[in-house]
Amino acid sequence: MLRAVRERDAYANLVLPALLRERGLSGRDAALATELAYGACRSLGLLDAVIAEGAGRSIEEIDGPLLDVLRLGVYQLLRTRIGAHAAVDTSVALARAEFGAGKAGFVNAVLRRAGEKTPEQWVEALAPADPVGRLAFEYAHPPWIAQAFADALGARAAELREVLAADDARPLVHLVARPGDITAEELALVTGGEEGRWSPYAVYLEGGDPGKLEPVREGMAAVQDEGSQLVALALTRAELDGPDNGRWLDLCAGPGGKAALLGALAAIDGFRVDAVEPAAHRAELVRKAVHDLPVDVHVADGRASGLTSGYDRILVDAPCTGLGALRRRPEARWRRTPADVRELVALQRELITAAWDLLRPGGVVVYSTCSPHLPETVSIVADAVRRLGAEQLDTRELLPGVTDVGDGPGAQLWPHRHGTDAMFLAALRKPR
């Protein structure tokens, strides 16, 4: 899996389940494989710094396949309870089988040097001196992402350690119970999970393969972070000026989780949802997610969808850096760069403008991102208010019972406070 991520820019969460099935791993073996694979992806920056120090050369000078073995070995030494002897022996044996005795000796030497210090001693030896850089190194985040989190926390930047620690931990699996088909209480009983804290449709699972659960196979439930559920619910709760005529739109629908929840809620009142997705393969995922719901899927660019205006409620869950969902995408933190932000911000601005043109007077747009990064969140919303004359609603009122989401009028969820992805959301109403 590490090789697929390194060589093909594959997504770990897509590659690993298929490999586990192919190799017939289950139970504790599958859990260990998942921990090693995801953990090594998450911890890449720290692992590479230790490997470079132990090897006496830069990472770029080490062959990629050999680097995969070293990363697995150092991860076991520094971030698991696996015994040092076992971690070194299995890594050396793997190197010998793949590359011969010479390379096995190199792996042995590097791992023995890595094992000479505790994780705390390695942080002390290699971490930058500045406080944010040090925390970023300790919790295996690029410094620019740690700084983005600190900026978003604002006056509560002292929580940065908690954010990074939560982001570096294995998250619970969140399920959504489809309204009208099954309740969260029933879903929790059937799956052995626990009802969620914030969304009336959320259930938490400790782990396992949710695809094997009967309610998921039957389409009565799906995997969806509780923060994403709250975004969809906020759209349905926003107060309109005038009646709700039942025309709802998800302008950035792929892969379909929020469209499915909106569709299930719309079905209760006899409403309909349009779902827009520009990529054909992702549009197909949306169709599968909403196959028996009152949702019409359109393969189109949200900036020029060709749809007729007059929508009551529009969700713009915009493409973003995804910095708020890094705990669920282990390799993503090392792929994103600050250069990605400018292009995404331009796209976000265009999408919110397109949504505004499709909205009826008195209707509401909910803008959301799975990123807390200020240029993608409050800056985009402030720009929309200024350019479009939007009336910004207090989004906190659309999240009843959810505490500590910021000073308003937008709302920011955090993994360390809410156990969700770091979703941002803001509600804008079009003056009549």
Alpha helices, DSSP H only, in 60-159? Answer: 64-79, 84-99, 101-114, 119-126, 131-138, 143-153
Both structure tokens of 316? 């713009």
Res. 27 pLDDT band, cuts 50 70 90? confident
Res. 170 pLDDT band, cuts 50 70 90? confident
Res. 211 pLDDT band, cuts 50 70 90? confident
Which of 19-28, 131-140, 312-321 shows the lowest mean pLDDT across its residues?
19-28
* 3-class SS string, 209-268: CHHHCHHHHCCCEEECCHHHHHHHHHHHHCCCCCCCCCEEEECCCCCCHHHHHHHHHHHH
Distance CA 348, CA 360 (A): 20
For 103-144, how does the pLDDT look when each residue is reduced to its tens digit (9 = 90+)? 999 999 999 999 999 999 999 999 999 999 999 999 999 999
Binding residues for S-adenosyl-L-methionine: 252-258, 277, 301, 317
Measured CA distances, 237 to 181, 222, 234, 260 (Å): 21, 22, 5, 17
Nearest partner of 182 among 216, 151, 143, judged by Cα: 216
Asked if residue 209 has pLDDT above 90, the reply is no
Asked if residue 263 has pLDDT above 90, the reply is yes
Both structure tokens of 4? 């697929």
Nearest partner of 71 among 21, 35, 36, 105, judged by Cα: 36
Res. 349 pLDDT band, cuts 50 70 90? very high
- Which residues have a catalytic role annotated? 370
For 135-155, how does the pLDDT look when each residue is reduced to its tens digit (9 = 90+)? 999 999 999 999 999 999 999
Q: Is 165 helix (H, G, I), strand (E, B) or coil?
A: helix
Q: Residue 129 carries which DSSP code?
A: S
DSSP string, 408-423: SSSEE--HHHHSS---
Query: Tokens 């120090």 appear where?
Result: 53
Q: Number of helices (H) and strands (E) in the chain: give both, helices first.
A: 19, 12
Question: What share of the chain has pLDDT > 70, as a percent?
Answer: 100
Distance CA 415, CA 42 (A): 16
Say what the pTM is: 0.93
Question: What share of the chain has pLDDT > 90, as a percent?
Answer: 94
pLDDT at position 335:
93
For 368-411, how does the pLDDT look when each residue is reduced to its tens digit (9 = 90+)? 999 999 999 999 999 999 999 999 999 999 999 999 999 999 99
